[in-house]
Structure 1
Amino acid sequence: MKKLAEEARAIEQQKTTVEIRIAQIEFEKKRAQDNIERNQAEEEKLRQEIELLNSEIQTLTPAVAAMERKQAEAEQQVGAAMSEVETMDALWNEYSSIANEAHLSVLALKSEERSIVQEKEYTASTCQAVAAAFDQRTEEIFKAKEDIGTIAADLEAIAVTLREAQQEYDGILEQKKTVDREFSLKRGQIHEIELKLKDERLKQEGSLKSAHDLEIKIQELTMKAENLKARAKDDFDIEITPKEFPDANEYDFTAAREEVRTLKEKVNVLGAVNFAAFDEYKSEKERLDFMSAQRDDLEQSEKTVLETIEEINSTAQKQFLQTFELIRENFITTFKSLFDEGDECDLRLDAEELDPLEARIEIIAKPRGKRPTSIDLLSGGEKTLTAIALLFAIYLVKPSPFCILDEVDAPLDDSNIDRFARILKKFSDNTQFVVVTHNKRSMEATNAMYGVTMEEEGVSKLVSVRFNEVEKN
């Protein structure tokens, strides 16, 4: 048996040597044919040149010598070409015997070539179909990008509106502070005016009291005057009588003089009177009413802006919580499909943060048999599968027709690669996945594989294989 195995290996080596020799002969045969065809073309060309020269000799006598030299050179070239042709014929005769022996192998290669040509034609038609589908998908992607651009523009407009509202709110707050300061200033001025009015009232009361005292004093003086009249009558026998005036009965000069004196005293007591105080009070009152109306308007505007911000925050929180709940449910389902049904996973918001938009998201992943306190304690493959589960959970909320994955399976072992392939097949009904990978098991799970090879240096070539078509064939 050992001897037979050695003989078989020797035959295989001889077969390999013969195949290499056949390939060399085919190459040399092709090169010889190319040289023969090239020499024949040159010979034909030289013959045509000779005929052209002969015709030119008859018409161009002065250039006969030059033409003869060219003819001699052409004949030399023809002779060299003929010698080269003879050499090629000798090589052809030498290789013909070897080529006949390899004829059967050539026929087999030609049949394989025909099959390759057929496969190439099929691949070309498939590439056309893929190109059409790619163009369609490209158009859909372009439309999706336009939609994304529109949504981004809307979001930018909302953000600009929100910033403008915030700026308006800040301006309103600043105006409110200014109005509050003016209001406080006017309130102080009004307080000062009220104090002045109070002082004036006190002065008026004092004036009234002074008038009452003066009336008592007038009565006392009147009594004194009567006493003086009586004393004048008694002591000096003089009758003191007041002089009568035509309007004496209508006008009381004494009272008038007393009133004038009293008023002068009151004026002296009051001092300088500010006759513009009432007008100033009225003007300041109108200014206070205007400032109060502005303050009320600013407070209403502030209230409206705060209500708008509250509504925006409420809507954003509501949509975020709804989307987060959908992602959480998809994450649990996808995680269990990648791991086992008994494994635990969850997405939680930080309970200490009141605003869910600012809350930290905690990712919990506990494969069976492990109780890690943090996701950082998982292995590299488990972290990758958890990330894939979260990626598909987010993707399921708003799927797209195309999904490109760049070497996401690099940290996975063979068993996890199979799980990854299963979930791709599960979602491939509605989405076309483009996976960049170097893993053989991932390649086996695909429907079509595209590779780039370089048969010649500096020339890249795209090679594609559709496994479902290969299985049918």
Structure 2
Amino acid sequence: MRTGSLLLNRRIAVLLPLHKKYAELKSQFELKSYDLSLFQSRVEQNEHHKLGELVKKLEQELQESKEELKEKQVEHKKCVSTVSDLEKTIKTYGSEREGRLKALEKKIKSLKSEMQAMSKQLKAYQSERERLIMEKDAVANELASLEEQLITSKAQITALSETWGTHKSKVAATKLEYDQAESELNIGRSKLKECDSQINSISKEQQKLQQLLGDSNVERKKMENEVKRMEIEQKDCSSRVDKLMEKYSWIATEKQLFGKSGTDYDFASCEPHKAREELDNLQAQQSGLEKRVNKKVMAMFEKAEDEYNDLISKKNIIENDKSKIKKVIEELDEKKKETLKVTWLKVNKDFGSIFGTLLPGTMAKLDPPEGGTFLDGLEVRVAFGTVWKQSLSELSGGQRSLLALSLILALLLFKPAPLYILDEVDAALDLSHTQNIGRMIKAHFPQSQFIVVSLKEGMFNNANVIFRTKFVDGVSTVTRTVPSKQK
């Protein structure tokens, strides 16, 4: 029993990873089958399935034409046999030959006309059969090319999704840099506004200080003049007193009586006393003014004046730079308008010429909107013959593709590059349009080199060198061919 259980456990241990692998393969199979069903539903809805249905319909019509051709051949044989029988009856019946001959001749003519009509119908059916066979082959070839195009489109979608991710990250980084630059610009503007407000406040304070200083200087000069005048008068008086004392000796003996009431020298009612009082009052006013006037005001005023002059010079520099920047902006706007006008005229001319080459009998142009200029925008206008279309929605898908290709090539022709790469731009176009694209490239881009990827022979007719790729024994090979007209 123990050996049996051990063998069973070993068997289970061996089968467990196989079971897990089976479960994983089963889930992968279900996913792949679901993807296959989705792909089949997509295929039924895309152009390939529609082309397959069209091929089946054409094969059915071809079969019906073959059956109808067989029926017409049987009818032709019957007519031939009838003609032979009639000829025999003409020989056998000698009597009534004339009348019967005329009747039979009429009948033969009618039968011959019918036979000719039948032969014409037969030729028409044969030509229709050949046309249907050619269309079938063309549709089969186009179906194969579309399948290859589907594979390449899937690869392009994956590559474009990767490039979209990188461009998205670049856009985010650029937006972050733009936000930082805008915040710095706003900070600079706020600082500039603060500087302007400070300049205005300092200028107002300076005006007040200048006015106060002017008033103080006027008062001070008045007082200084008054003091000088009083000092001069005092000196004059003292000198006069000395002269009087020298001249009159009695003054020294009677000096002690000066100003006493009841004496001859009572000066209370005399003018010198009033002058003294006025002198005292003026001296008191001068001392009061000296206390009120701040001696540090001059230093503060000089400092404020230096700051004011510095701010004024900075303001003048900023205003000068501002005027220069405005002038440069105006010059750039004028250059931009002139460049836009030159570009518009050149691109408009090339656009019409290229579109006329791609689709003969048509015209195209870039017009400003009604009531506006080229600075307000440009509208694409298309004309067939002499009738201008009101909207681009009136054009077919192929015509829109040619219109877009013409506009892109006209823009590239404004500043031509040495090399261009076109990847199956003629995939949705007819053979005649493909040939027109090749002729247009030769006519309008003689100095540029084009690498064109295409699956249609019409594009190869205008090529200088053709590189064909194909699978040989599972390996992709490239063959180089030079057309005979280029050799």
Query: Could you state the TM-score of these two structures normalised by the residue count of structure 1?
Result: 0.47
Query: Could you state the TM-score of these two structures normalised by the residue count of structure 2?
Result: 0.46
Greater relative CO, 1 or 2 (CA 8 Å, sep 6+): 1
